[in-house]
Chains A and B, each alone.
Chain A
């Protein structure tokens, strides 16, 4: 002060603006309304309503974009269809399904052979069978693993 050079007048104005906002947070509604210029209350109200409309639209877009992003992320990660089965019951389920559908052309030769299917692929094959609506022999389903 006292004629000192100010190298950053923008910073000065920002500090003043911040102090003005601090005071705006303290003034009562009654005092604030009393100091508004003619027509300012109506202007603020109509502008505020327009701001709210646009903000709602913007929030809706933002939520939609989030939902899309989540769906994209889910699509990129490997799908787990249903609870993972223990290898023993899953293998028996697959065997039962194949036995019931041995004449069904939708069941591939590899699956009908029932051999060489790694344990980690069993859940997927059982789910595929369900998708094809192949019947499961429920007597065999879920028995304890004899191994």
Chain B
């Protein structure tokens, strides 16, 4: 059956969501935003847009997957909207208005800008530490460590297989083990991790 779920059908389907659906959405949100709080806001935004008919889920697509892809799209658009202060967390301001938590660029005083720069510097320091912590998770597994580093450098699929001399099936297994390790190490997200 083609076409799209109506908002009413999507609403009814969301009502039937179980722990596995919500856990998948929650974990995806934590990965995308780096924090459990922002993950809730992001999921709410994606679902609200679907229920308002602004985003339409094809009938051929699982609604959980659709919601996660919508979350991804919203987060990506928000990041592009304010690249200048991209180090700050995503947050929801007003109705349907996602953007970076930065103040309006035109309204920043020199003192504000100095504080922004200091906060950005602290964030970069923290996220560098997070990066080191992630790689440390695989310190005693050179192949997994190599794949994790390759992913962070933007490599995918065949390039990763070639990098670690593994096949696609092994790559899928390693990628899953990386996900599980990172989620265990940062259960509430990496943003406030030290």
Closest residue on chain A to residue B175 by CB atoms: A23
Using Cβ atoms and an 8 Å threshold, which residues of chain A touch B187? 37
Contact of A51 among B15, B19, B40, B182 (CB under 8 A): B40
In the bound assembly, the distance between CA atoms of A12 and B32 in angstroms comes to 13
In the bound assembly, the distance between CA atoms of A12 and B27 in angstroms comes to 19
Interface of chain B, main secondary structure: helix
In the bound assembly, the distance between CA atoms of A55 and B172 in angstroms comes to 34
Using Cβ atoms and an 8 Å threshold, which residues of chain B touch A12? 131, 152-153
In the bound assembly, the distance between CA atoms of A136 and B27 in angstroms comes to 70
Closest residue on chain A to residue B120 by CB atoms: A10
**B99 an interface residue at 8 Å Cβ cutoff?**
no
In the bound assembly, the distance between CA atoms of A62 and B7 in angstroms comes to 13
In the bound assembly, the distance between CA atoms of A42 and B22 in angstroms comes to 10
A-B contact pairs, 15 of them (CB 8 A): A18-B72, A19-B151, A20-B179, A21-B72, A24-B179, A32-B20, A49-B22, A51-B44, A52-B14, A52-B15, A56-B51, A58-B45, A59-B7, A59-B51, A63-B53
Using Cβ atoms and an 8 Å threshold, which residues of chain B touch A36? 19, 23
Interface positions of B from 151 to 176, Cβ below 8 Å from A: 151-154, 172, 175-176
Using Cβ atoms and an 8 Å threshold, which residues of chain A touch B130? 9, 13
Of B128, B134, B148, most A-chain CB atoms within 10 Å:
B128
Closest residue on chain A to residue B125 by CB atoms: A9
The answer on a CB contact under 8 Å between B178 and A44 is: no
A-B pairs, top 7 by smallest CB distance, nearest first, are A48-B22, A59-B51, A12-B152, A55-B47, A58-B48, A44-B23, A41-B19
User: If A41-B23, A45-B19, A62-B95 touch, does A1 touch B150 (CB 8 Å cutoff)?
Assistant: yes
Interface of chain A, main secondary structure: helix
Using Cβ atoms and an 8 Å threshold, which residues of chain A touch B184? 37
Interface positions of B from 1 to 50, Cβ below 8 Å from A: 7, 11, 14-15, 17-28, 31-32, 34, 40, 43-45, 47-49
Of B25, B48, B65, B86, most A-chain CB atoms within 10 Å:
B48
Closest residue on chain B to residue A50 by CB atoms: B40
16 further A-B pairs in the complex, CB-CB below 8 A; given A13-B152, A15-B151: A9-B124, A13-B134, A15-B152, A16-B151, A19-B179, A20-B31, A22-B175, A44-B19, A45-B18, A47-B40, A50-B40, A51-B22, A55-B44, A55-B45, A56-B51, A58-B96
Q: How far is the CB of A145 from chain B (nearest CB, A)?
A: 46
Interface positions of B from 40 to 76, Cβ below 8 Å from A: 40, 43-45, 47-49, 51-54, 65, 68, 72
Number of A-B contacts (CB under 8 A): 157
Closest residue on chain B to residue A36 by CB atoms: B23
A8-40 vs B: 1/0 string, CB under 8 Å? 011011011111111111110100110111001
Which residues of A are interface residues toward B (Cβ below 8 A)?
Answer: 1, 6, 9-10, 12-13, 15-27, 29, 32-33, 35-37, 40-45, 47-52, 54-56, 58-59, 61-63, 65-66
The answer on a CB contact under 8 Å between B18 and A58 is: no
The answer on a CB contact under 8 Å between A10 and B22 is: no
Q: How far is the CB of B13 from chain A (nearest CB, A)?
A: 11
